[in-house]
A and B are shown apart, each in its own frame.
Chain A
Amino acid sequence: MTVKEPLTIAMPKGRIFEEAAELLRKAGYQLPPEFDDSRKLIIDVPEENFRFILSKPMDVATYVEHGVADLGIAGKDVLLEEERDVYELLDLKISACYLAVAGLPGTKMNDVAPKIATKYPNVAAAFFREQGEQVEIIKLNGSIELAPLIGLSDRIVDIVSTGQTLKENGLVEYETITTITSRLIVNPVSYRMKDERITGIVASLSEVI
C-alpha cells in the first residue's frame, strides 16, 4: 500500500470551513496560516500529507461517495437531503443550526395543497409526509426567504442559525424540523483501505470536540 498518497478531505466553503479548520488545528494538525483565506479550490498541505478540496456545501457528500475525497466535512442538512452512501463517523458539533418551517406571521397554509419553497426538497417532502400533509414542493437554489414575500409559497423550509435573516424579511418560524451540526464523513472504500490514518484522525478529533 502506498503511504505517500495524500489523504483527500472535501471541505465546504464559507462558515463551516473556518470552524472546521480551527477544529483540525486544535486536534494538532499543522495547517498553514494562509489556509483560511486562499481562493484555491485544491490546497495541498504536504506537512500533514493532506489535500483539501473546497466545494459547495451541498456537494461535499457527493465527492466523498464517489471516492474522489476520502473524508469530508458536511452539514447534517446535506446528509439528510442527499442520502449519500458514506459513513457518518463523528458529530463535530460545529456550525450548529436547525432546519425550520417559516412563513409570514399570522398566515394559515392553503387548505388544498400548500406550497413549500426550499433548498431541501427531499427533507421537506419527508417532513410534511410524516405530518400527513399534502404539499407542493418548490425547489429553489437560494434566497428562499423571498418565496413567501412574493407569493410563490405559503411556507419555506430552510436552515436557521440566528434567525436574523428571517426577522429582517418579516418572517417567523412555525416549526423546527431537526437540529443540524457538521459531521465527519468517510468514503466506505477509504474507510477500509486507509483505515489506520482515518482511525487516527477520528481519534484526535474526538478528543477536541
Chain B
Amino acid sequence: MFEKPLGMRDTLPNLYETKQHVRSALETEMKRWGYQFIATPALEYYETVGTASAILDQQLFKLLDQEGHTLVLRPDMTAPIARVAASKLLNENLPIRLAYSANLFRAQQREGGRPAEFEQVGVECIGDGTVSADGEMIALAVSVLKESGLKNFQLSIGHSGFVKELFVQILGNEERAQELTKFLYEKNYVGYREHVKSLPLSSIDSQRLLAFLNLRGGMEVIGKSLDLIENEKGKEAILELQELWNIINDYEVANYVKFDLTLVSHMSYYTGILFEVYADNVGFPIGNGGRYDGLLEKFGRSTGATGFAIRLDRLIEALGEIDETAPVECILFSSERRKEACGLAKERRIAGNQVVLQDISGVKDLDACTKKYSDVTFLVGKAGKEPVK
C-alpha cells in the first residue's frame, strides 16, 4: 500500500456524497441570506497571511517557492478573506457579505490520525460594525445548521472585550490581565483560582475574579456581569450583549443560545462578541465565529468585520448519517450493439439516471460486476434483439 502524509485522508464515494449534500445545504442557506461565494489560493505568504492567521506556528505547513519566499498552506479562511477584502474588493461598497467552502491545513501535534486537512464552510461580513451584524452571524449559524438537519446544538456566546476590560480594571495593566487570561485559554480553572488567591487584591476584587467563572447561562448573566464591571468600555461590552440578546430574540433563535463569558478563543484576532457551536455526540466544537475588528488593519484597511465557520467533518459526525450513494445502473454491451447502447444510455441519462456504459469484453468477473449496480441491461450479441434485463 502507498502511504499518505500524516493526517491526510481520502474521501470515498459514500462520504463524498454526504459531504456534497451537507455542504450544499449550508451553501444554499448562506446564499439565501445574500452571501456571495469566493475562492482564494491554497498557498499564501507566510509573512502576511501566515502570521495574521492566529494558528500556532508549529501547526502551519510551510514550504518555499522558487524565489525562496516562505509559503503556508492556508490554516484558516478569515485571514485570506481579510487580505482580499483589503485589496481587490476595495472599490466595492461596504458592508460586503462573502462566503466560502474551503479545505484548510493544520499540522496535528499528536495522534497522527486526526485530520490535518479539513473543510470549513463559513461567511464573513466585512465593514459592518453594528451589533446587528453580530446578531446576523448567530441567526445565520443557527439557520444553516437547522437546514443541514442538525437537531441538538447550542451556541455559547462570549465577549473578548469584556474579559479584557474586567481583568485590566482589577489587575491594573494588560500584562497581568494576559497572565490571568492564559489560565482561561488553558481551561485550567484550578490554576485560575490559585493564581487569583495568590495576588495582592482586595477581597472584593478577588471575589469578582472568582465570580467571573460563573458568568454562564441565559439572560441573567447580563445583570450579574454588570455587577462586576466598573469601567466604561467593559459596560459597553455588556450593553452590546444586551442588544445582541434582543436581536437574537427578534430572529427567534434564543433557545439555541446561551451566554458564557468565560469563553475565550485561541483565535487571538477576535475583539468583541465571539461564539462557539456545540452539538450532541461530538466531543469538539463544530464551529466558531466572532468579531475581528483589528485583522483588516494588518492588510492596510481599517474596518470592522465579523464571521463564522462550520467544520464540515465534525458537522457530519454530529449528523451521524452517511448517505447511501444514489443507485447506479449499468448497460453491458458488445461491440456490434454499441450504437444502440450509446443511444439507450443517453436517453436514460437525460431522464436523470446515473448510467454506466460498460463494454462486456472489459469485464473479468460478470457476477461481481452485475452485483455492483442497481440494475443491469445486456445489449449483447446480434443487433435487433430486445434488451435483456
Q: Do A85 and B190 touch (CB < 8 A)? A: no
* Cα–Cα, bound, A195→B213 (Å): 13
Which residue in chain A gives the minimum CB-CB distance to B280? A193
Among A49-57, A86-94, A133-141, the stretch that binds chain B is A86-94
Q: Do A67 and B260 touch (CB < 8 A)? A: no
* Cα–Cα, bound, A183→B187 (Å): 13
Q: Do A188 and B285 touch (CB < 8 A)? A: yes
The answer to whether the Cβ of A3 comes within 8 Å of any Cβ in the partner chain is no
Contact with B along A68-89 (1 / 0, CB 8 A): 1000000000000000011111
Chain A residues with CB below 8 A from B285, complex form: 188-189
Q: Do A86 and B190 touch (CB < 8 A)? A: no
Chain A residues with CB below 8 A from B278, complex form: 188-189, 192-193
Q: Do B258 and A192 touch (CB < 8 A)? A: yes
The answer to whether the Cβ of B284 comes within 8 Å of any Cβ in the partner chain is yes
* Cα–Cα, bound, A190→B152 (Å): 12
Given contacts A188-B285, A193-B154, A195-B216, contact A88 B188 (CB under 8 A): yes
Given contacts A187-B283, A192-B154, A193-B154, contact A88 B187 (CB under 8 A): yes
The answer to whether the Cβ of B189 comes within 8 Å of any Cβ in the partner chain is yes
Q: Do B154 and A86 touch (CB < 8 A)? A: no
On chain B, which size bracket covers the interface? 20 to 34
- Quick one: which of A67, A90, A193 has the most chain B CB within 10 A? A193
* Cα–Cα, bound, A85→B276 (Å): 15
Which residue in chain A gives the minimum CB-CB distance to B281? A67
Chain A residues with CB below 8 A from B271, complex form: none
Pick the contact of A189 from B189, B258, B283 — CB < 8 Å?
B283
Chain B residues with CB below 8 A from A65, complex form: 283
Pick the contact of B191 from A1, A88, A189, A199 — CB < 8 Å?
A88
The answer to whether the Cβ of A26 comes within 8 Å of any Cβ in the partner chain is no
B56–chain A nearest beta-carbon distance, Å: 13
Which residue in chain B gives the minimum CB-CB distance to A181? B190
Q: Do B190 and A89 touch (CB < 8 A)? A: yes
B positions within 8 Å CB-CB of A? 152, 154, 156, 187-191, 216-217, 258, 260, 276, 278-285
Query: Could you pull out 27 A-B pairs where Cβ atoms are within 8 angstroms?
Result: A66-B283, A67-B282, A67-B283, A86-B187, A87-B187, A87-B189, A88-B187, A88-B189, A88-B191, A89-B189, A90-B190, A91-B190, A188-B187, A188-B285, A189-B278, A189-B279, A189-B282, A189-B284, A189-B285, A190-B283, A192-B156, A192-B258, A192-B260, A193-B152, A193-B278, A193-B280, A199-B216
A positions within 8 Å CB-CB of B? 1-2, 65-68, 85-91, 183, 187-190, 192-193, 195, 199
